[in-house]
Structure 1
Amino acid sequence: MAAPLRTAVADGIATLTLCRPAAMNALDGDTAHVFIDAVEACAVDERVRVLVVAGEGRSFSAGGDFNWVLTWPGLDAITRRVGADLMMGAVQALYDFPKPSIARVHGAAVGGGIGLMLACDFAVCADTARFGLTSARNGLLAGIAIPVLIEAVGPRVARQLLMHGGVFDAGTALRLGMVDQVVAAADLDTVVATLARELLLGAPSVQRLVKQLVPRLDGMTHDAEAADLIGEHVAAQCTSDEAIEGMRAFLDKRKPRWAT
């Protein structure tokens, strides 16, 4: 049996490619487990500065594998919950990834596939891509996409998409804030590679800090407590090795060490 995921690392950029093209890169238990392990491995791999998530074949990802989920009624409740948690865990592992991440989206991104896309920090899609939170039309709940969907489009639009269940195009996804760039399909790899290289210019410690702070601050009132939290981190970051190197590099009119 072919591996459901391929990992490649080059020049600071790791690419995780879902390799179940016949199933439109849908997630079953094994695929989700392998995906989580790969994301966590990239998180601690010092060679990896940026993560790209992609799909092989005609589509990015069709979400949960129905052939797998159809086995659940014959399973006990604990085993069904393990399966659901594996799919949710794949999205959460991406969301918690401490370095910049990019979704390279082509073909179809449906249900949990949208969850994977929105769990990344950036989403670049081909102009031919199609999207859908179609689970309602299949009697299912696209649960693994809900938290990141609400963050991307807000609760009202999230409710509409999840209840309607229709398919929409790349232009609509851009208008809703679900993707960041729509490009010609022939240019997709070039644009993703350019963005990944641009992200390599940022200080790794600052990028990690941004990913920690933004979700935390999003749930806080803009008050003295939030200001105190930010002030604490700003003051600490200014004394870090990367801050000192970055400021000296600017004054010396050169690139900092992490960007060379």
Structure 2
Amino acid sequence: MQKPIQTKIENRIGFITLNRPEKRNALSPELIEELVNAFTAFEHDPAVKVVVLKAEGKAFCAGADLDYIQQMQHFSYEENLEDSNRLKTLFTQIYEFPKVVIAQVQGHALAGGCGLVTVCDFAFAAFEVLFGYTEVKIGFIPALVSVFLTEQIGQAKTSVLLLSGELISSSKSSELGLITEVVELEFLEKRTLEFAEKLVSDNSTFSMQETKRLLRSLGKAERHQALDLAAEANAKARGHGDCVKGISAFLAKTKPSW
């Protein structure tokens, strides 16, 4: 059976690769759990100084898994809250990870997949990649990512992205501060690796770790409180009629009438 992620360590760089290309690397509970385990292992491995998060296939990550979305229609509030907290744990782990995390984005990153990119320290993306927090299109709310995104690019820009749900190009994402650099697809892996290797060779492990710790300590209590509220809001929203309608339309590949 194919593992949902692959990991390897080379030259002090830990690589975590999303490995569900046939599902557009959608976020299933199993994939989220494997990501948490991989980051935990790399956190405590002295052989890893920098982490690169990448993906197999045409998409980086399409958001929630379709099969799982179908199951969610029958979840209780408690089950939805547990599910929201699972993703909250992963996003918080990456955002506050003591080592630098670089996203290598070769394909579209949507909804929760775009959230994955958001919580990384750096992101290099191919020109043809589209980004989008598309939850409002199907009656979801982009609750968890709103906390991280507001902290990173400000409330005004976050409001535009989350309320519109529109897809934006890599170039536009770079202008907004969502990603670090746009690269031709054929050079994406090379450029990401060069950047990671430069951090490994030129920067102090201690200094990067302490700098990130200080940055993430700013507003940390408020951020964690906001994330708890966001997880609850997410769970409640899933029981709303709009969410039920949106999921049904999404699964049927039709456009819901709002």
Q: TM-score scaled to structure 1, two decimals?
A: 0.81
Instruction: Tell me which residue corresponds to 1:28.
Output: 28
User: Where does the alignment leave 5 or more consecutive residues of structure 1 unmatched?
Assistant: 221-260
Offset of 1:83 from its aligned partner?
1.3
Amino acid at match of 2:64: G
| Structure 1 residues 37 and 219: alpha-carbon distance in aligned structure 2, compared to 1, 3 A threshold | closer
Larger RCO, structure (CA 8 Å, separation 6 or more): 2
Rounded Cα–Cα distance in structure 2 between residues aligned with 1:30 and 1:143: 21
Instruction: Tell me which residue corresponds to 1:113.
Output: 113
CA contact (8 A) 2:96 2:216 kept: no
Rounded Cα–Cα distance in structure 2 between residues aligned with 1:145 and 1:109: 13
Q: For the aligned residues, what is the CA RMSD?
A: 1.5
Instruction: Tell me which residue corresponds to 1:14.
Output: 14
Rounded Cα–Cα distance in structure 1 between residues aligned with 2:175 and 2:127: 13
Correspondences of 1:67-216 after superposition (within 5 Å): 67-200=67-200, 201-216=202-217
Runs of 4+ more than 3 Å apart: 217-220
Moved more, 143-152 or 127-136: 143-152
Measured against aligned partners, the alpha-carbon deviations of 1:55-110 in whole angstroms (never above 9, x if no partner) come to 11001111222321221232332222111111222211111210111000121011
CA contact (8 A) 1:112 1:144 kept: no
CA contact (8 A) 1:9 1:48 kept: yes
User: Where does the alignment leave 5 or more consecutive residues of structure 2 unmatched?
Assistant: 222-258
- Percent identity of paired positions between Structure 1 and Structure 2: 28
SS at match of 1:98: coil
Amino acid at match of 1:22: E
Instruction: Tell me which residue corresponds to 2:233.
Output: none
Measured against aligned partners, the alpha-carbon deviations of 1:227-256 in whole angstroms (never above 9, x if no partner) come to xxxxxxxxxxxxxxxxxxxxxxxxxxxxxx
Rounded Cα–Cα distance in structure 2 between residues aligned with 1:69 and 1:195: 36
Amino acid at match of 1:61: C
SS at match of 1:104: strand
SS at match of 1:74: coil
Give the greater-gyration-radius structure (CA): 1
Rounded Cα–Cα distance in structure 1 between residues aligned with 2:95 and 2:74: 31
